[in-house]
Amino acid sequence: MTETALTGVPELSDTPSGSKSEQAYQSVKARIVEGTYTPGYRLVLGAIAKDLGFSVVPVREAIRRLEAEGLVTFERNVGATVAGIDPTEYLYTMQTLSIVEGAATALSAPLIDSAAVARARAVNQEMRECLEHFDPVRFTQLNQDFHSVLFEHCPNPHILDLVHRGWNRLASLRSSTFRFVPGRARDSVEEHENLLKLLETGADADAIEKAARLHRTATLDAYLAQTT
């Protein structure tokens, strides 16, 4: 650990896990995702640098990366602030994801065995337990884990790529929709169970695709109802 010549603040040395810029990026992003830095929160570079034990330079580089990802915005006379959800982008992303993820789930269905269904149901049970002391970030991660079991068997790599792009886009827009519509979480768990029953009973592709698509659009509808 060294000490900066300008501030006297101890700096963490570079580690095998990444440069100071990478460490600052991961730290600030985690605080945004976890909700420690809420939408509109002003990101004061000097304060963050002091907190991390870095100089301002790697923090500035980290903030620029987060701006490129849409998690941070710059405003004149204000500086860097945590971005909120862009309603239009969220709408388009969810609409697209409902279509491609529904298709991917339907195409995966014949390839999903009982072990995969059991794995998905175990994740859904964790989500159910998460409702008792609701943690939207944890719930969102479990939600992605659940759906990954259902769509990752998709034999069409182009559709699967579009699904991954959709999930990544959601992550850049906001850490968790369930932070804004927590009441949607309980319905989501029940809809998951319905999807699993369709898979277990050998429902046809159209029924599975429709259920997966409506599950996604129901979350979108809940968010839009909350914000309009």
CB environment 127-147: b (16+ within 10 A), e (fewer): bbebeeeebbebbbbbbebbb
**13 has pLDDT over 70:** no
pLDDT score recorded for residue 8: 33
SS3 content of the chain, % helix, strand, coil (to 5): 70, 5, 25
Above pLDDT 90, what percent of the chain? 57
Confidence grade of residue 88 (pLDDT, cut at 50, 70, 90): confident
163's enclosing H/E stretch is: helix 157-173
pLDDT tens figures, 112-121: 999 999 999 9
pLDDT tens figures, 199-221: 999 999 999 999 999 999 998 89
pLDDT score recorded for residue 33: 72
Q: How far apart are CA 2 and CA 130, in angstroms?
A: 42
Instruction: Quote the mean pLDDT of the chain.
Output: 86
Residues composing the chain: 228
Confidence grade of residue 11 (pLDDT, cut at 50, 70, 90): very low
In the predicted model, what is the mean pLDDT of residues 112-141?
93
pTM: 0.69
pLDDT score recorded for residue 92: 92
**10 has pLDDT over 50:** no
